[in-house]
Structure 1
Amino acid sequence: MTTHSQPLTVLLTDPMGGTLGLGLPPGSLVTETNDGPWPEPLLWVADGVAAPGAWADYLPAREVGLQPVLLQDESGIEEWWDGELDPGMMSDPGDHQVEEVLKDFWDSAASETEENEDEENAGETIAPFTGTWPGLASPGRPAADPATNSLKSPRLALVPVGRAADLPAAIGWSGPVNYENDVARLCAVLRSWEDRFGVRVVALSYARLDLSVAAPPQTLDEALAVAAEHFAFCPDNIWQGYESIRVYAEEALVGNTHWTFWWD
């Protein structure tokens, strides 16, 4: 997958982005991937820790083709975004159909869950669903502006991509590598969530994805349908934090304007 980095190349001679109307803090362009130099800038990253509200403050950058995102270093030491990205291994999110992707993910996660459950607890993790993919959840009703969350020490970044849903694939983020190598397939899901729930990519870290949600599910029934998609998208959310899809829906999704995913 390729990006169109022309807005970033402006920063080579205009580091504060004045000609783009941005007024950026000190920062630098990232061009290194895990395979060596990339032919064009992948993203711009601020040198210092982002101030509260920085993501929202730079949303106007979208008008010049740049999507803001916060980069979080979970260890607080290693800057994983410099030299650890791999855009060359990503396909185009537009090449994937969301329901096909989620059905494939669901079948794999449900099968693995079934293998790991004992007879006494069989089916409890994915209840009230069965091993059959339940289909897409209905669109949400906008209830709030997309929210941002407080991260420990995020760095503001700008990525030259048309829509925020494509951002992880555009920079070659490999956070879910133990689950899915081609992040463009996950981005196809993010596109659908963007359309149905007003989701925006707010932050990335080494293996974590944070989303703001303008139209979260408001009832348990609505949340259960969304939770099924979350289980397919990131089974670790349920396997390593909640007893079942039902508990996850009740405790993590009803009315929640912030979704977090973490891959082991």
Structure 2
Amino acid sequence: MKVTRLSQTEDLMPTLGLGTWQLPHIGNRASDVKKFVDLQLQRLQLSYIDLYLIHVPFGFVSDPHELTPCVEPNGEYVLDMNTDHVQIWKSLEQCQKERLIRNLGLSNFNEKQIKKIIESATLKPQVLQVELHAYFQQVALRKFCAENNIVVTAPETFPDLLGHPHVKEIAQEHGKTPAQIMLHFLVTEQIVENMDIYDFELSTAEINILKELDKGEDGRIFNFLFWKGVEKHPEYPFRLPDIEAVKD
């Protein structure tokens, strides 16, 4: 893969994660954080990273000869069962003190896991990146983040919603595309911003129709089960009992 140098500019905000961009979830241990941050900076020819996320709360054992996860003969990934979020976070805080990272955040963590980091952090998480769309609105998690001044971002906002009859009907009513309707709905919910979605307002009835599309956990699409065996990791974030325990 050819790496193109990024310009260090205020107009761009390079965002990387521990376990992303050529380093597939093998660096989720405190002893490796600095090594991988330095490696990513070197490869991108940057002096600092604007936003750095722990991309997933679990980790894999690394092949000693390559920067790839180890896989068992049966296809299951070899899990690093000693993932320690608090120590990983402290290592990232040190990178921030060294001005290698400007802002820190999390991705795909559940509320219980975020709380544990907040309780021990000097620099609290500033961003949480999670799956979020009308089928999976994550109301409780967004409320928790708002209470803790954590900005929620959503890389996945449109599953198969654009063809939903309710969405198409509302789009026709406003002379907008289904995509613009869904983005406006998320803006109304204080989630995202985008172009050309501010010159109309959704009615209370329309907002309620879109809210009713929420399927809760059944609406989740990205569960990482394409990594065979990942659900056996003690920090796999989407285990329903963990999520329900927070609500009780």
Q: Please give the TM-score of this superposition, normalised by the length of structure 2.
A: 0.21
Bigger RCO of structures 1 and 2 (CA < 8 A, at least 6 apart): 1
Structure having the larger proportion of residues in strand? 1
